[in-house]
Amino acid sequence: MKKFLTVLSVALVLCLFSTNESKAQLPDGAFGIGSSFASGTPTLSGMYSFSPAFDMALNLGYTSNSSSNDISNVSSTTSQTQISLGFRYFFVDNKRIDPFFGLGIGYGMSDTGGSFDPSTLGLNFMFGGQTQIAENFFVYIATGVQYSSTKTSDNSSTSTISFGTTSVGAIVYFK
């Protein structure tokens, strides 16, 4: 909860010092490149703005963790690759903050020593706000609900629902 409040505080301070412009001033068909951080995975995004009220993103994420035990002389590496497609709808045109509702669907694979096992399919519902810091440069924060289903090679599966999944990111649009 402390992490969420810190991120929310930083986002609110950025909103106070942001310019008085909004996403509505971007032309239809603007492309963007963004990056976000959610649930421990940094993500690179390619954005496309269909209109001032609707955009789409293709997201790619990758993490790698290595650990070693000096006593037993055992080391292990785990990596996770994620790909997702997201949609955002901006429902109010405000001069400081553009609130949005989003939906995303994604797929992730974990590599634990040569085999991509387990694999996860996820669905996200989120809401958040985006503000402009400089011309064509936006930052956002979002929170929501995530449903995920993880399947392992022995055909067992686990489903989870996570509340309060938070994402923080930045986007640069090209007109």
Only one residue has tokens 């007109």, namely 175
Q: Where does residue 171 rank: exposed (0-12), middle (13-18), buried (19+ CB within 10 A)?
A: buried
Distance CA(166)–CA(24), nearest Å, equals 24
* CATH architecture of the domain with range 2-174: Beta Barrel (2.40)
Element (H, E) at 12: helix 2-16
Assign 11 a pLDDT band (cuts: 50, 70, 90).
low
Each residue of 126-145: pLDDT tens digit?
999 988 888 888 898 999 99
**Per-residue tokens: 74:** 């055992």
Which of 120, 127, 117, 116 has its CA nearest to residue 86? 127
Distances (CA, A) of 116 to 49, 79, 81, 83: 34, 9, 10, 14
Cβ(90)–Cβ(107) below 8 Å: no
Overall pTM > 0.75: no
pLDDT of the residue at 103: 94
Q: Where are the domains of the chain?
A: 2-174
pLDDT of the residue at 21: 47
* pLDDT at position 27 over 90: no
Assign 154 a pLDDT band (cuts: 50, 70, 90).
confident
pLDDT of the residue at 7: 53
Cβ(86)–Cβ(95) below 8 Å: no
Which of 126, 138, 101 has its CA nearest to residue 24? 138
Peptide bond into 118 cis (omega under 30): yes
CA 134 vs. chain centroid, Å, equals 21
Q: Comparing 49 with 113, which gets the higher pLDDT?
A: 49
Q: Comparing 115 with 128, which gets the higher pLDDT?
A: 128
DSSP structure class, residue 27: P
Element (H, E) at 95: none
Work out the mean pLDDT of the chain and round it to a whole number. Answer: 77
Assign 15 a pLDDT band (cuts: 50, 70, 90).
very low
